[in-house]
Amino acid sequence: MAAFAAAGLAVSPHKVGPDYIDPGYHALATGRPGRNLDAFMCGPGLVAPLFAHGARGCDLAVVEGVMGLYDGASGQGELASTAHVAKLLRAPVVLVVDASSQSRSVAALVHGFASWDPEVRMGGVILNKVGSQRHEELLRDALGSSGVPVLGALRRAPQVRAPSRHLGLVPVAERGAAALESVAASAEQVRQGCDMDALLALARSAPELPGAAWDPHEAVTSAAGLPTATGAASPVPGAAPVVALAGGAAFTFSYAEHAELLTAAGADVVPFDPLHDEELPPGTRGLVIGGGFPEMYAPELSANEPLRKAVADLAASGRPVAAECAGLLYLARELDGKPMCGVLDARARMSERLTLGYREAVAVSDSVLAAAGTRLRGHEFHRTVVEPGAGAVPAWGMHTPERRVEGFVERGVHASYLHTHWAAEPGVARRFVARCAA
């Protein structure tokens, strides 16, 4: 992405699956929001429209896969795999192969991936972690009769490495200049080792996608049950209510479509940083706190007492507050012994166990986000525990083996570990903004 952007192309970055962290690196590489394509959370029918929405006005779109090419939602076949998304987009696939410690076996590996599903168009392979020129020659020779062209070979390069945490990279916002340097080094590796012209030609061989691009205004209007021909810019009459959106290094997990849907629903979305801002944005009528790694910044978040009090006062007033995962921890009484906002009578701590996976959920009760009985698909990703795990009025009933309830609904607060993608249910944004304006 960075190599093509540096060549002057407008590059649209996309990521298969629910990951928030890689899209941050994509945004750094391209200067455009990184967008997720998740066939589990949003449904297969929204993958192409969301892709087209992100790719408007671009010369090239690059979609990073998730796990292995054919790995999808557990127990559900190809659903939400990279191969599934590639077929939905009718996009060619470039297979990136870790070529460490192998030579001729690479041909058998590539043959297996290329022949497993005839509907997946394998456009080429990039050999990664190649040890030497001689190693590259052996690999290319082995693949010569495979029918899958070699589009690049990348040497091992320590300068492109990025530190990891909880099965993912450390977010861009936490790394500063180091993230810029690793992305620039990666771009240089690609420029030197890949056939840029062949990659671009392969991308341009993808056929046109049928149907219209996703549009947040149309999505919100349709979800609200309002006629689409009113011409109104906002479903909410009057002055746009200010919705404060947490950001900064501690709260980096947010899908770009959430802010777009809130804006389309009539809100004035104003970002703020709980690590540094001592006040909520002026006129705040609602608060959205997404995911991130607040456990890495618990002392700093705790030290910002003026903002913690402002959040507690806003919640006590009954104003709408939507908190996901990291937001849930921030609203608790404490996190690893450090005082937080105290909105919820719960305590959070780090755990040895990583909770990770797709979820099917149903809203247990009416809240600022959803009416009771609303069904959503989401994702959990955390290495923390909140005790208790649910309030007197839980947020969600989870369709997991233990059929657990989870989260908190209190006054205008909806707080939960569950990450959701509002494009799948735009009525969430419409309902939230309407409550802010009420």
Among 188, 201, 192, smallest CA distance to 29 is for: 188
Domain end residue (candidates: 140, 174, 204): 204
Interatomic CA distance for residues 199 and 209, integer angstroms: 19
Domain end residue (candidates: 204, 224, 243): 204
Interatomic CA distance for residues 437 and 434, integer angstroms: 5
Say if residue 343 is in the same domain as residue 284. Answer: yes
What's the total number of domains in the chain? 2
Instruction: Give the CA angle between residues 61, 324, 220 to the nearest 5°.
Output: 60
Please determine, for residue 228, whether its predicted confidence score (pLDDT) is greater than 50.
Answer: no
Phi, psi angle pair for 271, to nearest 5° = -70, 150
Say if residue 281 is in the same domain as residue 302. Answer: yes
Neighbour count for residue 70 (Cβ, 10 Å)? 16
Q: Residue 82 falls within a domain, yes or no?
A: yes
Q: Residue 211 falls within a domain, yes or no?
A: no
Among 65, 128, 112, 53, smallest CA distance to 93 is for: 65
Q: Residue 210 falls within a domain, yes or no?
A: no
Dihedral over Cα of 193, 198, 199, 200: its sign: positive
Please determine, for residue 364, whether its predicted confidence score (pLDDT) is greater than 90.
Answer: yes
What single string gives the DSSP state of each residue in 36-88?
Answer: EE-TTTS-HHHHHHHHHHHTTT-SEEEEE--SSTT--STTSTTTTSHHHHHHH
For the stretch 204-215, pLDDT in tens is 999 999 999 999
pTM: 0.94
Please determine, for residue 257, whether its predicted confidence score (pLDDT) is greater than 80.
Answer: yes
Q: Residue 388 maps to which CATH number?
A: 3.40.50.880
**Residues in contact with 351: Cβ distance below 8 Å, sequence separation at least 6, in sequence order:** 383, 384, 385
Across the range 367-382, mean pLDDT stands at 95
Say if residue 142 is in the same domain as residue 261. Answer: no
Q: Can you give the pLDDT at residue 165?
A: 87
Q: Residue 424 falls within a domain, yes or no?
A: yes
For the stretch 265-301, pLDDT in tens is 999 999 999 999 999 999 999 999 999 999 999 999 9
Q: Any idea how long the chain is? A: 438
Say if residue 122 is in the same domain as residue 48. Answer: yes
Interatomic CA distance for residues 98 and 154, integer angstroms: 10
Beta strand ranges found along 223-300 (DSSP E): 242-246, 268-272, 284-289
Say if residue 225 is in the same domain as residue 179. Answer: no
Say if residue 360 is in the same domain as residue 402. Answer: yes
Neighbour count for residue 33 (Cβ, 10 Å)? 17
Across the range 39-63, mean pLDDT stands at 98
Domain end residue (candidates: 145, 171, 204): 204
Share of the chain above pLDDT 90, in %: 90
For the stretch 330-340, pLDDT in tens is 999 999 999 99
Q: Residue 266 falls within a domain, yes or no?
A: yes
Among 170, 213, 236, smallest CA distance to 430 is for: 236
Q: Residue 296 falls within a domain, yes or no?
A: yes
User: In Å, how far are 172, 195, 346, 383, 408 from 323, measured between CA atoms?
Assistant: 22, 45, 14, 17, 10
Catalytic (active-site) positions: 325
Instruction: Kindly report whether the peptide bond that precedes residue 271 is cis, defined as omega within 30 degrees of 0.
Output: no
Among 128, 16, 32, smallest CA distance to 69 is for: 16
Interatomic CA distance for residues 131 and 401, integer angstroms: 45
Please determine, for residue 401, whether its predicted confidence score (pLDDT) is greater than 80.
Answer: no
Say if residue 336 is in the same domain as residue 381. Answer: yes
Count the alpha carbons within 13 Å of 102 in the hemisphere toward its beta carbon.
17
Q: Can you give the pLDDT at residue 231?
A: 40
Segments in 283-377 forming alpha helices (H):
298-303, 305-316, 326-331
Q: Residue 11 maps to which CATH number?
A: 3.40.50.300
Dihedral over Cα of 226, 230, 231, 237: its sign: negative
Q: Residue 285 falls within a domain, yes or no?
A: yes
Q: Can you give the pLDDT at residue 368?
A: 97
Say if residue 220 is in the same domain as residue 192. Answer: no
Question: Tokens in use for 200?
Answer: 């671009």
Say if residue 159 is in the same domain as residue 11. Answer: yes
Domain that holds residue 140: 2-204
Say if residue 111 is in the same domain as residue 147. Answer: yes
Q: Residue 164 falls within a domain, yes or no?
A: yes
Q: Can you give the pLDDT at residue 159?
A: 87
What single string gives the DSSP state of each residue in 114-157?
Answer: HHH-TTS-EEEEEEEEE--HHHHHHHHHHHTTSSS-EEEEEE--
Say if residue 225 is in the same domain as residue 115. Answer: no
For the stretch 128-166, pLDDT in tens is 999 999 999 999 999 999 999 999 999 998 889 889 988
Say if residue 231 is in the same domain as residue 139. Answer: no
Cβ–Cβ under 8 Å, residues 331 and 413: yes
